[in-house]
């Protein structure tokens, strides 16, 4: 149980950390939609008509993920969506690097074309891979502390690491008196009067 509790604490830190990432990222993009559109367009992947749509929807999605993770609501789903989104970011960075584009990722504001040699692809990739690791943790083990999910699934001190109810220790191993040892381990046959002779046989003895 101690190891499960430790994993809950670590998972809580992971969940809240990823929540902050999405809230900051989405908030910065939402505050400057024109710059967000420039950053999206710089990857040269989407048609011109789709750029403003993605630039508008992306920060809203990031803010929604951040809010869900902060509250611990739908944690596993938020983790899975985070994994998919981060994989998309990683793929976008890799293709831009391979194609020799000189851009800033715009992950936390800014973004767009930069001077050749000012790209920071490696550091951006390593950072996104770190965020991906957090999202994978939340997806695989969504159980955390201070989460609304724990109220919905009945989580508490009587639940194990997977959220299943743990039987009360006071009743584990107890057996009914007529089926084996009692609570103190005394066999039924050892109880006072348990060796009393069968009434039928007792009658035979009296008649002798």
Map out the domains of the chain as residue ranges. Answer: 2-152, 168-208
HEC letters along 47-98? CHHHHHHHHHHHHHHHHHHHHHHHHCCCHHHHHHHHHHHHHHHHHHHHHHHH
Residue 62: predicted pLDDT: 98
The predicted-structure confidence for 19-67, as pLDDT tens digits, reads as follows: 999 999 999 999 999 999 999 999 999 999 999 999 999 999 999 999 9
Residue 169: predicted pLDDT: 42
Per-residue DSSP letter, 197: P
Report the percent of the chain where pLDDT is more than 90.
Answer: 71
Mean pLDDT of the region 149-168:
56
Query: Largest Cα–Cα distance in the chain?
Result: 118
Q: Are 42 and 113 in contact (CB under 8 A)?
A: yes
Among 128, 59, 57, 119, smallest CA distance to 87 is for 128
Q: Mean pLDDT for the chain?
A: 83
Q: Count Cα neighbours of 179 within 13 Å in the Cβ-side half-sphere.
A: 5
Among 21, 14, 36, smallest CA distance to 127 is for 21
Q: Which residue has the tokens 């046959």?
A: 189
Among 73-82, 120-129, 198-207, the least confident range: 198-207
Residue 66: predicted pLDDT: 98
Given a cut of 50, is residue 117 above it in pLDDT? yes
pTM for the model: 0.74
CA distances from 134 to 12, 19, 127, 150 (A): 11, 10, 11, 20
The predicted-structure confidence for 75-93, as pLDDT tens digits, reads as follows: 999 999 999 999 999 999 9
């Amino acid at each position: 149980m101690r190891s499960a509790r430790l994993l809950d604490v670590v998972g809580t830190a992971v969940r809240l950390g990823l929540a902050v990432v999405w809230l900051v990222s989405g908030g910065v993009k939402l505050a400057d939609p024109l710059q967000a559109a420039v950053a999206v367009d710089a990857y040269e992947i989407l048609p011109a008509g789709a750029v403003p749509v993605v630039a508008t929807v992306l920060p809203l999605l990031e803010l929604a993920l951040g809010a869900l993770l902060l509250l611990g609501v739908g944690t596993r789903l938020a983790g899975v969506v985070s994994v998919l989104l981060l994989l998309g970011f990683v793929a976008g960075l890799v293709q831009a690097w391979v194609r020799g584009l000189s851009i800033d990722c715009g992950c936390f504001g800014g973004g767009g074309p930069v001077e050749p040699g000012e790209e920071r692809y490696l550091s951006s990739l390593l950072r996104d891979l770190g965020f991906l690791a957090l999202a994978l943790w939340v997806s695989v083990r969504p159980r955390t502390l201070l989460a609304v999910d724990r109220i919905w699934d009945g989580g508490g001190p009587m639940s194990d690491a997977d959220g299943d109810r743990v039987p009360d220790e006071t009743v584990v191993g107890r057996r009914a008196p007529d089926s084996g040892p009692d609570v103190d381990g005394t066999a039924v046959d050892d109880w006072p009067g348990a060796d009393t002779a069968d009434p039928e046989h007792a009658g035979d003895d009296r008649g002798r």
